[in-house]
């Protein structure tokens, strides 16, 4: 009996053990390249693994006539044109469980950073004169953390915050109240979350509902002594309105790992904020998250062509995405 050969391509960073595991399946012919354009004989490829820097749309997949599925080894999926994929009958998947810990830990790094003025302190530590009074921060114990989006990452951040003795609030219209109650979190509306939080941390996908949910109007709700942390999606925040709020001292400071345009452009008003903690979209950049996302993507490839049931299909059918 002749085994049917399945041709797949992997684009971008991929963990070596996951690649070896995939190649151990004798019916899989695997290409691993840096860029989509480097793939040979794209007309023969049936499956693809990508990351967020590879666009999945009509222009990028021109010539991929036999393509049946694409899996992105990321938790985000802004790089997919789902209308095109549906029209071409291309099944799409993602790996949202891979970077829960890495994103939650970076979020808490940023929470500590805004509490203790770490960006200013790092600069000052290299100067011959220290003006340490400028570094006066605040303790997290007893402070209010508002979590906007109480899903995989948001609930993990809440777990870390409890260890610091913080009071916990969450805004998420799509979760059951019992889930928040089990974690000693008080569910509130978005306006109240903004008003009560000493720190407001965002953990939402980018949808029509969340696009620029932080803007000039909603920033009026927040205390001028509060801070905003965002490790979810850059488009959740209107960056010009946010920078203006910090500049006018209507907000203590900000810590962001994601931006509407990446890398940040030289003219970005965020770069003029000395107290801001800005990191280059690094929430998933741990060895563990990289290994897990690679293996999960490889497993989804194999299971798809073995006609096994798969989780994490795109676009999500969850109410938060359909709204």
Which residues are catalytically annotated?
A: 233, 262, 281
Please say whether the dihedral angle defined by the alpha carbons of residues 120, 124, 129 and 130, taken in this order, is positive or negative: positive
Q: What are the DSSP E strand ranges found in the chain?
A: 6-11, 28-33, 47-50, 69-72, 91-94, 144-148, 167-171, 186-187, 199-202, 227-230, 253-256, 277-278, 313-314
Tokens 């904020």 correspond to what residue?
Answer: 273
Which single residue is written with the structure tokens 């799409």? 92
Pairing type for strands 91-94 and 313-314 reads: antiparallel
Give the whole-angstrom CA distance, residue 123 versus residue 11: 38
Which one, of 281, 264, 247, 306, lies nearest residue 110 by Cα?
281
Spatial contact of 31 and 19, defined as CB atoms under 8 Å apart: no
Helical pair 287-305 and 100-116, crossing angle rounded to 10 deg? 150
């Amino acid at each position: 009996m002749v085994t049917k050969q399945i041709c797949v391509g992997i684009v971008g960073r991929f963990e070596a053990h996951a690649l070896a595991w995939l190649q151990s399946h004798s019916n899989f012919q695997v290409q691993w390249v840096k860029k989509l354009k480097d793939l040979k004989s794209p007309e023969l490829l049936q499956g693809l693994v990508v990351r967020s820097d590879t666009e999945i749309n009509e222009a990028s997949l021109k010539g991929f006539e036999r393509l049946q599925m694409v899996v992105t080894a990321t938790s985000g999926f802004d790089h997919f044109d789902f209308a095109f994929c549906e029209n071409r009958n291309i099944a799409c998947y993602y790996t949202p469980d891979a970077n829960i810990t890495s994103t939650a830990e970076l979020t808490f790094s940023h929470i500590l950073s805004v509490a203790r003025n770490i960006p200013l302190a790092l600069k000052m530590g290299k100067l011959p004169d220290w003006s340490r009074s400028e570094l006066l921060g605040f303790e997290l114990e007893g402070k209010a953390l508002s979590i906007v989006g109480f899903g995989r990452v948001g609930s993990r951040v809440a777990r870390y915050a409890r260890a610091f003795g913080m009071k916990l609030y969450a805004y998420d219209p799509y979760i059951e109240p019992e889930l928040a109650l089990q974690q000693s979190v008080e569910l509130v509306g978005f306006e109240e979350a903004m008003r009560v939080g000493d720190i407001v941390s965002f953990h939402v996908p980018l949808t029509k509902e969340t696009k620029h949910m932080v803007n000039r109007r909603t920033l009026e709700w927040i205390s001028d002594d509060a801070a905003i942390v965002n490790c979810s999606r850059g488009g959740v925040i209107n960056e010009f309105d946010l920078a203006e709020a910090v500049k006018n001292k209507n907000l203590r400071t900000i810590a962001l790992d994601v931006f509407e345009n990446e890398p940040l452009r030289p003219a970005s008003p965020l770069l003029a904020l000395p107290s801001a903690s800005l990191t280059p979209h690094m929430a998933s950049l741990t060895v563990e998250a990289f290994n897990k996302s690679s293996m999960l993507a490889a497993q989804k490839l194999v299971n798809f062509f073995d006609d096994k049931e798969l989780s994490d299909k795109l676009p999500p059918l969850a109410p938060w995405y359909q709204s």
